Amino acid sequence: MIKIGICGYGNLAKGVESAVMHNEDMELVAVFTRRNPSDVKIATKNAAVYSMDDIAKFKDKIDVMVLCGGSATDLPAQTPELAKMFNVVDSFDTHAKIYEHFQNVEEAARNARKIAIISTGWDPGMFSLNRLIMESILPMGNDYTFWGKGVSQGHSDAIRRIEGVVDARQYTVPVEEALRSVRNAENPELTTRQKHTRECYVVVEDPSMNERVEKEIKEMPNYFADYDTTVNFISLDELKKNHNAIPHGGFVIRTGKTGVNLDTNHVIEYSLKLESNPEFTGSVLTAYARAAYNLNKRHECGCRTVFDIAPRDLSNKTYEDLLKHKL
């Protein structure tokens, strides 16, 4: 059994916990929290909750620590720190800072002879893997990534910060016409506005605020100004009833040309339709936790990404079984 620890206990951690439950070669040993451990109720019967301060005591009791903190402040500090004691897996998703994060984690993990797999999940993660493999197979071509339809936590939070907003949910929606053009190998050059629209469901303190709030949303730089944005004002009841789930998904599509004169077209498409973003992301982290375990068992160490992991190391089946039934 692979002994798993979980660091942090939000939505993602709950997704990891339930994934571990359904992977028969794994068991959850402990959850670590910054809150008062007795305030945190987990779903796993044979695991316990401990204070983050006690994590070092579990150095020899946990095979892989799955880090479920946020990318803004938690993971940049936690991943290198915990890689000094544990094999770790994280879902660091600030694309622009992955290289820097990699270098910090690499040094810590290598010195400790541990494996750290960073930036797993679906984007970065499964989508990255597909972008890389597709490009390697069809070097003469273009790839496109579309997200949605799904809830963007970052954009929902941005709306919530506006004065007078009680709660909000923002859906990122790929533009059908853009998807169609890409799939037809038309190789369009798409602006930000042409790829996605943003649909907002907003609860305000008072209807008199509607006009101002809508304007503030639509003009918000980086988040909304470059998109066609729709704002719908709804009641708190309606938000809770119809917008409580955290679905997401998206598409990676590569169109490429082959042949001596590059006159043959191919389309490769990878898509996800997820009812729960954190549960799916948690499932990906769990599979990479197995890979971290497998690599470290072979005495490998250092920082890895999804690009380094052979598919075989994600599976709990024997190689013979895989060759006979999956190849």
Residue 270, interface with a copy of itself (CB under 8 A)?
Answer: yes
**Binder to a copy of itself among 40, 52, 85, 98 (CB under 8 A)?**
98
Tell me the angle at which helices 74-82 and 98-112 cross, rounded to the nearest 10 degrees: 20
Pair 128, 102: CB distance under 8 Å: no
- What DSSP string describes 134-168? HHHH--SEEEEEEE-SEE-HHHHHHHHTSTTEEEE
- Binding to a copy of itself in span 21-40, by CB under 8 A: 21-23
Strands 150-151 and 165-174: antiparallel
> Considering beta carbons, is residue 233 or 270 the nearer one to a copy of itself?
270
**Binder to a copy of itself among 284, 289, 292, 301 (CB under 8 A)?**
284
Min. distance of Cβ 188 from a copy of itself in angstroms? 17
Residue 166, interface with a copy of itself (CB under 8 A)?
Answer: no
Residue 198, interface with a copy of itself (CB under 8 A)?
Answer: no
Residue 52, interface with a copy of itself (CB under 8 A)?
Answer: no
Write the CB contacts of 284 (distance below 8 Å, at least 6 apart in sequence).
91, 120, 121, 122, 125, 126
Please give the structure tokens belonging to residue 309: 């992991």
Residue 1, interface with a copy of itself (CB under 8 A)?
Answer: no
* DSSP helix/strand/coil, 305: coil
> Considering beta carbons, is residue 106 or 216 the nearer one to a copy of itself?
106
Residue 311, interface with a copy of itself (CB under 8 A)?
Answer: yes
**Binder to a copy of itself among 40, 52, 112, 133 (CB under 8 A)?**
133
Residue 300, interface with a copy of itself (CB under 8 A)?
Answer: no
Please give the structure tokens belonging to residue 180: 């169609």
Residue 145, interface with a copy of itself (CB under 8 A)?
Answer: no
